Chain A
Amino acid sequence: MSSEKGVLSGSFFMQGDVACAEGAITAGCRFFAGYPITPATEIAQRMAARMPQIGGTYIQMEDELGSMNAVLGASWAGVKAMTATSGPGFSLMMENLGLGIMTETPCVLVNVQRGGPSTGLPTLVAQGDMMQARWGAHGPYEIIALAPSSPQELFDLTIRAFNLSERFRTPVLIMTDAEVGHMTERVVIPPPEEVTIVPRRKPRIPPGDGYQPYVADDDLVPPMAVAGEGYRIHVTGLTHDERGYPATSDDSAQWKLIQRLVNKIRLYKDEIIEVEELYLEDAEVVVVSYGIAARAAMWPIELAHREGIKVGMLRLITVWPFAEEKIRALAERARAFVVPEINWGQIALEVERCAAGRVPVYLVPHPGGDIHKPEQVLAAIRRAVA
């Protein structure tokens, strides 16, 4: 590994995408495979310039399918790896995101969302992939997805994403968007020694001592041997037993595996879920939002305060797993939820599910291409208290 001089620290005026790349580098990412796609290309461009400086590898693959698989392969060679894309590429990565989930491969997948569906609005903001982030791959599984509201937070959450991916041995998604990705703001990068980096959990027994790749620790996460260490591991996308061997004919293997894959995240939600709560102490109306939409809701909330409306904000920094308990608790004392998001209703459905009919949930939709106008959100807040 060449010298670490390449890892930045200090205060910068930096684009969101670039901050994402630097966050990955600070987190120890030394492999990036990607494919050009607006509005995520700047991440690939930054990686193309920076990886050779720090002994890492940049490769531009032939498509997003190749990118996702190269990232999985690199992770299984013992290197922290990431890819970045937008809606169309995100859709192409779903099957192999599933392979990463099934084989418990730590890696990070950044989705700089843009207007959809299909080619949609390539250069413009949207948040229409939130349910795809949750259920895009097939089959039963849990996923971790973070949503930054600023270049600084995109930098910070990229580090957190890598740490969570190693801690839980799973791919982690960063669901950002064209706005945050393309805006330029101050980004403070702490000196490396102040950044906590979660190392990969390695086997505690040497090769040849009966190590089995999928015997989990108490927290349901198995220590991870990688290729080239002499453990002679077998890794398959097929349902597998603790040895990693295909186990598709006895159904106990599927029961055990799926329960573990799901519970290893679900039972540790509190360790994963991060939210920001503003003015919720006496809030009658709770604005629930995430990413750029949450930021755009700050001004309408201020305007509503001036009109004497008690409104607060629950900003979801971790979108998946969903902050169910938080919503249920707020539903006990608030009169309504207002959910501004740049899609036609996705996270709003989760809020409705958790509010369970106790209070109304007012979606503030947007088809994509722009952030909400303040009066759109303000109107919803006013309706909530009317």
Chain B
Amino acid sequence: MSEPTLRTEAKAVEPEAAPQERHPMDDLLREERLPHIWCSGCGIGTALTCFISALLKSGLDLDKVVVVSGIGCTGRVAGYVRLDSFHTTHGRAIPFATGLKLANPELKVVVFSGDGDLVTIGGNHFIHAARRNIDMTVICVNNFNYGMTGGQAGATTPVGAVTTTTPYGNYEHPFNLPYLAAASGAVYVARWTVLHVRRLERAISEALAKRGFSFVEVVSPCPTNFGRRHKQRTGLDTLRYYHERGIIRHGADPRSVDIELGGDIIEGKFVDIEKPTFSDCCAGIVQKAIAQ
């Protein structure tokens, strides 16, 4: 092993694979930027893997797929996909994506961000985009805290959870994301942990194929900032927790899928309905406008 320079420029050591073999997802990754910044045992990479796998199977024109993410650990997803991608400001991925979609309806717009970004600071935009049923897919990696900034409480942090800003235990009731999305008007709502990779991949595929506001919550470990403070020092500990406490209940009433500290995690597809999208409703207006 040559003497590593001060800041090891992580060039890929000649992989074991024969040269022409490449990771099947490298075509959709900015591989020159790997390894990525997420911690060892963080689930964002797995959520991204399921997304890319779903994309590869979707048959979508990848030149028309756009990923928009906000600020936070998951916000860095936009920087790693070899697609048109936008890394916007904190909480504002959804309105940015709304502008993209409405200005060019051909685009398949995917918002990929974290719980803090999407429903805490960005909550107002989240509920309105769902209400309007804007045609976009929102993938929310929920690790129950603001990870990037070192582990503060957010709107999804369970009651009693210890974070750097709730040192005596969180005393605020969190959002129940599937319920929030369903109540706001989302036409597709599903939740999977990063352990259930195949089901998560299928849910993302369904969400991508769905017209209107589709929402997939991905429950993910955050060993460094959340797990560590709740007896799940490694991502593997958290995956084992999902293995024991994950309960698949398709069609469950979204009101009943709260996540409590140490409680069960209800997973599955909760909402899958048909509703005219914002653009469908908009189209009818144009004739009336031109006629006047």
Contacts and interface: CB of A to CB of B under 8 A. Distances in A.
* Contact present between A and B (CB < 8 A): yes
Interface of A: 2, 30-31, 33, 49, 52-53, 55, 57, 59, 61-63, 65-67, 69-79, 81, 95-96, 99, 207, 226-238, 245-246
Interface residues of B, number: 40
A234 B87 contact: yes
A230 B86 CA distance: 14
A181 to B, nearest CB: 24
A9 to B, nearest CB: 18
Contacts of A235: 85-87
Which of B92, B95, B97, B128 has its CB near the most chain A CB atoms (within 10 A)?
B95
Contacts of B30: 234, 245
A70 B94 CA distance: 9
Interface in B18-51: 30, 33
B243 to A, nearest CB: 35
Contact of B78 (A31, A70, A78, A236): A236
Given A59-B102, A66-B95, 19 more contacts: A61-B98, A61-B128, A65-B125, A66-B125, A69-B88, A69-B95, A70-B102, A73-B68, A74-B99, A76-B100, A78-B104, A227-B86, A227-B107, A228-B106, A232-B84, A234-B30, A234-B78, A237-B88, A238-B87
Contacts of A73: 68, 86, 95-101, 103
A141 to B, nearest CB: 15
Contacts of A246: 79, 87
B103 A77 contact: yes
Contacts of B289: 49, 52-53
Given A62-B128, A227-B66, A234-B30, A77 B99 contact: yes
Contacts of A232: 63, 82-84
B63 A236 contact: no
29 contacts: A30-B103, A31-B103, A33-B98, A49-B289, A52-B286, A52-B288, A53-B289, A59-B98, A62-B125, A65-B91, A65-B95, A66-B95, A66-B98, A67-B95, A70-B96, A71-B99, A73-B97, A73-B101, A74-B100, A74-B102, A75-B99, A76-B100, A99-B89, A227-B84, A227-B86, A227-B107, A228-B64, A228-B66, A232-B63
Interface in B221-278: none
B124 interface: yes
B209 interface: no
B83 A69 contact: no
Interface majority SS (helix, strand, loop, mixed), chain B:
helix
Interface majority SS (helix, strand, loop, mixed), chain A:
mixed
Contact of A70 (B82, B89, B98, B292): B98
B79 A234 contact: yes
Contacts of B282: 52, 57
A57 B102 contact: yes
B290 interface: yes
Contacts of B86: 73, 76, 227, 234-236
Contacts of A75: 99, 103
A65 B92 contact: yes
A38 B237 CA distance: 55
Given A62-B124, A62-B128, A81 B92 contact: no
A52 B106 CA distance: 18
Nearest to B85: A234
